[in-house]
Structures are given as structure tokens and as C-alpha cells.
Amino acid sequence: MEDIDRLLLKLKGYYFDHLSVDIGFIENLDDFEIREDDVFIVTYPKSGTIWLQQLLIPFFEYNFQKIYLGKRPSPGLLSTHLSYYLVPRGLKNKRAKIIYVYRNPKDVMCSYFHFEKNVKLQFTRTFEEYMILFLEGRVLRSLWFDHIKGWYEHRSLFNIQFMMYEEMKKDLRGSVLKICKFLGKELSEEDMDTVVRQATFENMKYDPLANYDKIITTAYGTNVKGHFLRKVTIGDWKSHMTVEQNESFDKIFQREMKDFLLKFIWDV
Ligand code: A3P
């Protein structure tokens, strides 16, 4: 585990990936211009970020290139994994809307493990080792518990809607309706059908854009083995974790999430 510091870069108490982080950008993030019609997707990694993007794209003229070039389209759809205390001031003033997607952390951990293994060639951890790192927050984007608790406990600062990955999976249409209500948008039945159809796993599975193929190969090279869209199940952790691992996870979860109000779905 000694190579952690080589792979990760801690800035303002939060782990970034030294390959992709723009230190100047992070340091000046507080002043990043937030527009009233911007919508932010906020997630801890592997919680359904791309899925939300796919759902929301029809609402926006979405173009990553423009964001990188600084010519942001308006309204803008932006995604971030940042912790609540790192985001621009304008968001804390409720200037823009935020959709926070969360997923049960055992499935997050398994999805993250496969992602790291497939994408990063230098990744040599066993699942057992990875679980320790995940539960200590010694992974890219730091501790899952801090992320969700930070956002939820400071929700009154933000204009924020919490969405659960598993609920989206069980009832995608109902979830889109909830998002529409939050964004103040109305969709015709026909548009609703299109949005839902485009965001199904079957439609996204082989879409290079939805799998971030270009971004991943630019950052990590062309030997990447896996896809962003992997298994898409609820309760995949059951095929990864031993009884003992599950018990020790539960113990930590209960300690960390005591009195936490949001509910979780652990299996189908
Ligand atoms: P799995 O690795 O468990 O399959 P993120 O976009 O935040 O990195 O999250 C990735 C996870 O979201 C992956 O989980 C991926 O398969 C899942 N996902 C992406 N699109 C999905 C969809 N249309 N339906 C359900 N899950 C989806």
C-alpha cells in the first residue's frame, strides 16, 4: 500500500488523481462562475454519474469540449465528484441546481475495484486490500462516508435533490419525473419515452461516449480492459465479499451512518 502517495494527490484534504488534476483550477474553484441555469450532477465515483449525464443530455446543449475551452454553453450541465466544501461559492449560494446521486457503498466499492483494476495498469490490489483502502478513504475522491454525509448534512446550503441509484434502476420513469419536477421541466409522453429509452443499460452499454472511451484512453492509455458500464446489478457485492468482510463492513457502516436519514437498498 506504500504507493498510495505516488498515485494520489491530496489537495485541500481531498484525494485527486495526479494524472488529471489541474491544481490551479482546484485552488481557484471557489470563484468559478456559476450560472442560475447550470445543473450540477454530484456523485461519489461509481454511483451512476454517466447514467445521470445520459438522462440529462436531452435537456442541454452538451459539449465537453466547450467546457474545457472555457466557453460554457448555457444552460450548462456539469458533473463533479468534489466534496461539498470544495465546490464553488456560487453553488453554496443556491445559484444553481444540484442532483446528488448515491448508491449503496458495497456496490460502489465493488464497481470501483473493477474500474481501478481494469483502467489502471499499475493497480495490483486484491479485493481484500482494496476494501481496507476504500474503508479508510485512501482512494481517489477520499472517503465515501465523508462524501455523502458532508453533502447531506450541509444540504440546506444548496439547492439539491438526492436521487438513489437503486431507485432509478427499479423505476427509471418515476426517477425522470422526479428530476423533471426538480428542474421545473415538463416532458411530453413521447419525449419521456425517448429520454428513458436512451438511458437504458442496453442502449448505453456499447456507446463509446457513455463509456468515456476517449477520455479514459487519453488519461490512461489504450490498454484499458474494462468499460464504465460493467454489470449494472443491485447487490453485486454478494459475489465479491466474504461473510467476514461483509460483517466488518456492516460494523463500520453502522458506526459511520448512525442516525443518517437517507435509506439504502442493498439487494434486489
Ligand atoms: P457497475 O460497475 O456496478 O456496473 P459512474 O458513472 O459514477 O462511474 O458509475 C458507474 C456505474 O454506473 C457502473 O456500475 C455502471 O455500469 C453503472 N451504470 C451506468 N449506466 C447505467 C444504466 N443505464 N443503468 C444502470 N447502471 C448504469
Which residues share a beta bridge with 16? 9
230 in contact with ligand 1, CB cutoff 6 A: yes
Which ligand 1 atom is at minimum distance from the Cα of 43? 7
- Could you tell me the pTM of the whole model? 0.91
Residue 58: CB atoms within 10 Å: 14
Greatest mean pLDDT range, 5-9, 18-22, 89-93, 213-217: 89-93
For the chain, what percentages of helix, strand and coil (3-state, to nearest 5) are there? 50, 10, 40
227 is catalytic: no
User: What would the pLDDT profile of 185-229 be if each residue is shown by its tens digit?
Assistant: 999 999 999 999 989 888 887 776 666 665 666 666 655 655 666
81 in contact with ligand 1, CB cutoff 6 A: no
**Cα(16) to centroid(ligand 1), Å:** 21
**Cα(210) to centroid(ligand 1), Å:** 10
Residue 210: CB atoms within 10 Å: 21
Lowest mean pLDDT among 5-19, 147-161, 189-203, 210-224: 210-224
User: What would the pLDDT profile of 63-86 be if each residue is shown by its tens digit?
Assistant: 444 455 556 666 688 999 999 999
Distance separating alpha carbons of residues 253 and 121, to the nearest angstrom: 30
**Cα(39) to centroid(ligand 1), Å:** 20
8 A C-beta contact, residue 241 and residue 249? yes
Q: Whose CA is nearest to atom 14 of ligand 1?
A: 232
pLDDT of residue 21: 83
Please report, to the nearest 10 degrees, the dihedral formed by the alpha carbons of residues 247, 235, 214, 200 taken in order. Answer: -160
196 in contact with ligand 1, CB cutoff 6 A: no
Distance separating alpha carbons of residues 246 and 258, to the nearest angstrom: 17
CATH code at 4-256: 3.40.50.300
Domain ranges of the chain: 4-256
**Residue range 244-253: mean pLDDT, rounded:** 98
> Does the ipTM surpass 0.95?
yes
User: What would the pLDDT profile of 108-140 be if each residue is shown by its tens digit?
Assistant: 999 999 988 887 767 789 999 999 999 999 999
pLDDT of residue 2: 47
Nearest in space to 112 (alpha carbons), one of 139, 145, 146: 139
8 A C-beta contact, residue 220 and residue 212? no
| DSSP, residue by residue, 78-145 | EEE---GGGS-HHHHTT-SEEEEEE--HHHHHHHHHHHHHHH-TT----HHHHHHHHHHT-STT--HH
